[in-house]
Structure 1
């Protein structure tokens, strides 16, 4: 059974400003460079921003020794996560997109959708995630672990976005 989670990042900036930040390769490059303090290798594999929207493909390697014991029972090597983020063309009402994450030889799936929309105080980027692990007996524990770590990641990315926009806009 898949588990779902919604996370909302609130920004004191207009939605268009958040969208414009994410539409630059530098935004993603600097975010991945910042994550290298936690993981030995983080990189932007692909980035496009055009009339159809934006897409970033990110790859992050986490050493097996950094994984919780329950994850080490399933993964026998370093965990390589490939994530694809996309947002459609900017829409002043609501800009929609999606994201996926996969782990090489991983025992499950992670997918979600995101919506960027204006609020009275700026804007919100809401991400709704669905995870599914296909390992009997420990699936629910791994799914919960993934969601908890994903919230931490989304918080860190929201803090990064606020700081990046404040410095670069």
Structure 2
């Protein structure tokens, strides 16, 4: 059985401006700089064209920093590959959609989701719908809960980063 989580991030700028940030290399390089303060993180691929924008980056979490239940199934430092895709901005609907995923080599599960960036009365919001599935008998559900718990903190941190980005760039 998989676990699901809905999460909304609010921004003080219109959706189209936030989309321009999300699809700029500068934004992602700056985000990686913030992540590097915690652990090794780097962009491995960035493309943007008429089909949309794709970003792939890798983050490393030392095994010693993993919770005990995770260390029981992860034999080494955890290398997480994250992918982000933003479809082209839809001017008729004044929104953008996309999807994201995270994977661990030889990892026994999957994490991903879809998002929609839309305008609000005070700026814009990014609605994320995530799904987590860990295929390990007996501990899979506990690991799914743990992953989603930490994903919430990750989304909180990314919302805070975006707020600082907006204050410096808009």
TM-score, length-scaled by structure 2: 0.96
1:10-159 aligned at under 5 Å gives the runs 10-39=10-39, 41-92=40-91, 93=93, 94-159=95-160
What's the offset of the Cα at 1:153?
0.5
- The RMSD of aligned alpha carbons is 0.9
Residue aligning to 1:2:
2
The number of residues matched between the two structures is: 168
* 1:75-130 superposed Cα distances (whole Å, 9 cap, x missing partner): 00000000100110012422110011101111100110010011111111011100
Which consecutive unaligned segments of at least 5 residues does structure 2 have?
none
- Say if 2:13 and 2:124, in contact at 8 Å, map to a contact too: yes
TM-score, length-scaled by structure 1: 0.96
